[in-house]
């Protein structure tokens, strides 16, 4: 079996996994992939250094070697807070209104990708497969090719790929996509994001995509495919029935008071997750259903993220204001409708909280996949499961048609869905849950990793490599 060199912006040392706090979906998924694969995980340590040295901090934990570099403050500013999180993230989540185009961001992005390429190069052996992750590192493959790397290289994008008409607003979009065509395999979360990419390739780049889905770029053939990511199902179910989870579930249920139902939302505090719209919808539900209002509580867990970026500070203020407003309008002495908590929880405790909730409210405005929806399903008690309300605009939606699918922009629709879910008979809850559980179990992270690595090793990727 070939060794795997995984490259991502941040690296999580595997032993710390059990105590995951507000860990992003990417690191949760990769930890599971690396637990079984020999190889090296390379990326930024998350630490700052006064001036870049390229020093590699190598560690070995549970058969996984991690190698990290520190970055300069200017790198973090321009590459991470700048191009990645002020330019690409909003644009790829269709938020052109929040997208900032600043030449220094683009320069920082190029510089850091070049630093990644220089630093990871000595770690790559001839037979290794190189698997690069996400929007932080789109040009890395091309930079490695320039340094003579002929290995098979794949890219997996964890976030959506935007429609062509939005994407072309990015200065230098042509060069960015051209650099991506140095990978042999490009993976997307869903057919929808893949279609958007293929549309750009045909209509803007003027390239041919053959009947097998291979992009023809000069002598190269590049495979672009959808590989929907999943959760580590076995691990999550174990967590969900651990003592910590059972205790967390019990404690939360007791805190609600007799007969009261709970809705749960768990998200990084990010504008793509639709938290403001979710609060508005819940407020609408309370107003439209006064007879039920005092019997429900929304628990929203949202640890802050990317706090150096202004749009994240603004959304935080906006949500505090909304929660305060709704609570002020509806609460009474013994009941507050929204419990809004800005911190992360260990996975086991979180799994218990999911099970305590009668409704999982997962309503992103746009999301590459969304693992919270899958975790909510996996944590339920099969004999008395809760109902998943899921945004149509989450990448998970096509795989989860038995959720109550909603348009998160419509407060009426979400409010109606909450009412429907609260009244849903047990038999229907069970039927929907069984169907969802089957999809979460079958499309888990192991399946995802194997499918991607198989495609990267397979004959299609070979065509790309031979032509490189
Ligand atoms: P994220 O945008 O981070 O990931 P998501 O897929 O929902 O979104 O993953 C979030 C993860 O963080 C989940 O595993 C969740 O349990 C955990 N988490 C969130 N809040 C937490 C809290 N308060 N305490 C503890 N854990 C918490 C990106 C893309 C997604 C894509 C993933 C994986 O934006 O669309 O699904 O990568 O590819």
Given this model, what pLDDT does residue 32 score?
A: 63
- Is the separation of the CB atoms in 222 and 194 below 8 Å? no
Catalytic hit among 367, 402, 416, 444: 367
**Residue of 37, 158, 330, 433 marked active site:** 158
In whole angstroms, what is the distance from residue 282 CA to residue 289 CA?
Answer: 10
End-to-end CA distance of the chain: 22
For residue 388, give Cα distances in angstroms to 25, 241, 283, 362, 421.
Answer: 19, 19, 19, 7, 8
Q: Active-site residue 433, yes or no? A: no
pLDDT of 228 strictly over 80: yes
Tokens encoding 206 = 């003027």
Q: Return the exposure string of 287-300: e unless at least 16 CB atoms fall within 10 Å of the residue's CB, then b.
A: eebeeeebebbbbb
Residue 462 predicted with pLDDT over 70: no
pLDDT tens-digit series, residues 23-53: 445 565 676 667 777 789 999 999 999 999 9
CA of 370 to the centre of ligand 1 (A): 7
What is the CA(209)–ligand 1 centre distance, in A?
Answer: 33
pLDDT at 179: 98
CA distances from 24 to 116, 253, 266, 267, 303 (A): 21, 27, 12, 10, 11
Q: Is 274 in the pocket of ligand 1 (CB under 6 A)?
A: no
DSSP 8-state symbol, 394: B
DSSP SS3 for 157? coil
DSSP annotation string for 15-55: GGGGG--S--HHHHHHHHHHHHS-EEEEEEEEEE-SS----
Q: For the residues 295-324, what does the mean pLDDT come to?
A: 93
Helices (H), 241-308: 243-256, 275-288, 290-293
Residue nearest to atom 20 of ligand 1 (CA): 267
- Please name the residues in contact with 232: beta carbons below 8 A apart, sequence gap of 6 or more: 28, 29, 32, 444, 445, 446
Q: Is 367 a catalytic residue?
A: yes
In a mutational test of the pocket of ligand 1, which residue from 10, 18, 24 has the highest number of ligand atoms less than 8 Å from its CB?
24
Laid out side by side, the sheet with 359-362 consists of: 338-341, 296-301, 261-266, 359-362, 387-391, 404-406
75-97 pLDDT per residue, tens: 999 999 999 999 999 999 999 99
Is 374 near ligand 1, meaning CB less than 6 Å away?
A: no
What's the average model confidence in pLDDT over 386-391? Answer: 98
Ligand 1 atom nearest 29 alpha carbon: 33
Over residues 448-452, mean pLDDT: 91
**231 CB under 6 A from ligand 1?**
no
Question: Against a cut of 0.85, is the pTM above it?
Answer: yes
Kindly state the tokens that stand for 37. 């694969």
Nearest CA to ligand 1 atom 27: 22
CB 385 within 8 A of CB 426: no
Residues 229, 374 contacting (CB under 8 angstroms) = no
Quick check: CB of 90 below 6 Å from ligand 1? no
pLDDT tier at 178, thresholds 50, 70, 90: very high
Alpha carbons 282 and 359: distance in angstroms, whole number:
12
The arithmetic mean of pLDDT across residues 281-285, rounded, is 98
User: What is the dihedral angle through the alpha carbons of 132, 202, 391, 315, rounded to the nearest 10 degrees?
Assistant: 70
Q: How confident is the model at residue 2 (pLDDT cuts 50, 70, 90)?
A: confident
- Pocket flag, ligand 1, residue 372 (CB < 6 Å): yes
Closest CA to 120 of 39, 216, 37, 234: 39
Residue 159 near ligand 1, beta carbon < 6 Å: yes
Decide if pLDDT at 18 tops 60: no
Q: Is 350 in the pocket of ligand 1 (CB under 6 A)?
A: yes
Tell me the per-residue pLDDT of 155-169, one tens digit each, with 9 for 90 and over: 999 999 999 999 999
Q: For residues 387 and 262, what is the distance between their CA atoms, to the nearest angstrom?
A: 11
64 or 235: which leads in pLDDT: 235
Q: What is the mean pLDDT of the chain?
A: 92
19: pLDDT strictly greater than 80 = no
> Across the strands, what pairs with 28?
none
Q: With pLDDT > 70 as the criterion, what percentage of the chain qualifies? A: 93
Given this model, what pLDDT does residue 458 score? 86
Mean pLDDT of 419-444: 98
213: left (phi over 0), alpha (psi -120 to 50) or beta: left
Q: Is the CB of 28 under 6 A from ligand 1?
A: yes
Residue with the bigger pLDDT between 150 and 459: it is 150
CA of 274 from ligand 1 middle (Å) equals: 14
Non-local CB neighbours of 426 within 8 Å, separated by 6+ positions: 384
Residue nearest to atom 21 of ligand 1 (CA): 22
Identify which of 140, 29, 126, 30 has the alpha carbon closest to the alpha carbon of residue 84: 140
């Amino acid at each position: 079996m070939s060794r795997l060199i995984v490259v991502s912006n941040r690296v999580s040392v595997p032993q710390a996994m059990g105590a995951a706090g507000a860990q992003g979906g990417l690191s949760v998924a990769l930890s599971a992939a690396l637990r079984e694969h020999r190889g090296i995980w390379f990326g930024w340590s998350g630490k700052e250094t006064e001036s870049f040295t390229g020093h590699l901090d190598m560690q070995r934990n549970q058969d996984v070697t991690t190698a990290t570099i520190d970055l300069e403050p200017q790198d973090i500013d321009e590459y991470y807070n700048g191009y990645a999180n002020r330019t690409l993230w909003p644009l790829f989540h269709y938020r052109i209104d929040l997208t900032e185009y600043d030449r220094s961001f683009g320069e920082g992005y190029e510089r850091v990708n070049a630093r990644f390429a220089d630093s990871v190069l000595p770690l790559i052996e001839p037979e290794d497969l190189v698997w690069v992750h996400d929007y932080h590192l789109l040009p890395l493959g091309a930079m490695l090719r320039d340094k003579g790397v002929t290995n098979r290289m794949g890219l997996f994008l964890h976030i959506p790929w935007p429609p062509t008409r939005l994407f072309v607003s990015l200065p230098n979009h042509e060069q960015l996509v051209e650099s991506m065509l140095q990978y042999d395999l490009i993976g997307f979360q869903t057919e929808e994001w893949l279609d958007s990419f293929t549309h750009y390739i045909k209509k803007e780049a003027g390239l041919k995509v053959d009947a097998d889905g291979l992009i023809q770029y000069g002598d190269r053939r590049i495979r672009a495919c959808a590989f929907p990511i999943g959760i580590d199902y076995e691990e999550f179910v174990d967590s969900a029935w651990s003592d910590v989870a059972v205790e967390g579930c019990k404690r939360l249920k007791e805190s609600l008071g007799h007969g009261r139902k709970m809705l749960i939302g768990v998200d990084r505090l990010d504008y793509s997750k639709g938290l403001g719209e979710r609060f508005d919808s819940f407020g609408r539900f309370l107003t439209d259903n006064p007879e039920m209002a005092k019997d429900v509580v929304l628990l929203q867990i949202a640890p802050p993220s990317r706090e150096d970026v202004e749009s994240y500070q603004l959304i935080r203020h906006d949500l505090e204001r909304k929660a305060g407003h709704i609570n002020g309008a509806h609460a009474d002495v013994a009941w507050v409708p929204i419990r809004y908590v800005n911190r992360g929880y260990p996975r086991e405790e979180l799994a218990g909280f999911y099970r305590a909730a009668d409704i999982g409210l997962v309503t992103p405005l746009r999301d590459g996949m969304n693992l919270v929806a899958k975790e909510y399903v996996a944590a339920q008690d099969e004999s008395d499961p809760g109902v998943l309300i899921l945004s149509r605009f989450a990448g998970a939606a096509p795989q989860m048609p038995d959720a109550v699918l909603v348009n998160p922009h419509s407060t009426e629709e979400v409010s109606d869905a909450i009412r429907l879910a609260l009244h849903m008979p047990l038999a229907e809850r069970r039927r929907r849950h069984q169907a969802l559980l089957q999809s979460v179990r079958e499309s888990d992270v192991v399946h995802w990793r194997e499918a991607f690595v198989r495609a990267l090793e397979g004959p299609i990727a070979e065509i790309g490599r031979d032509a490189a």
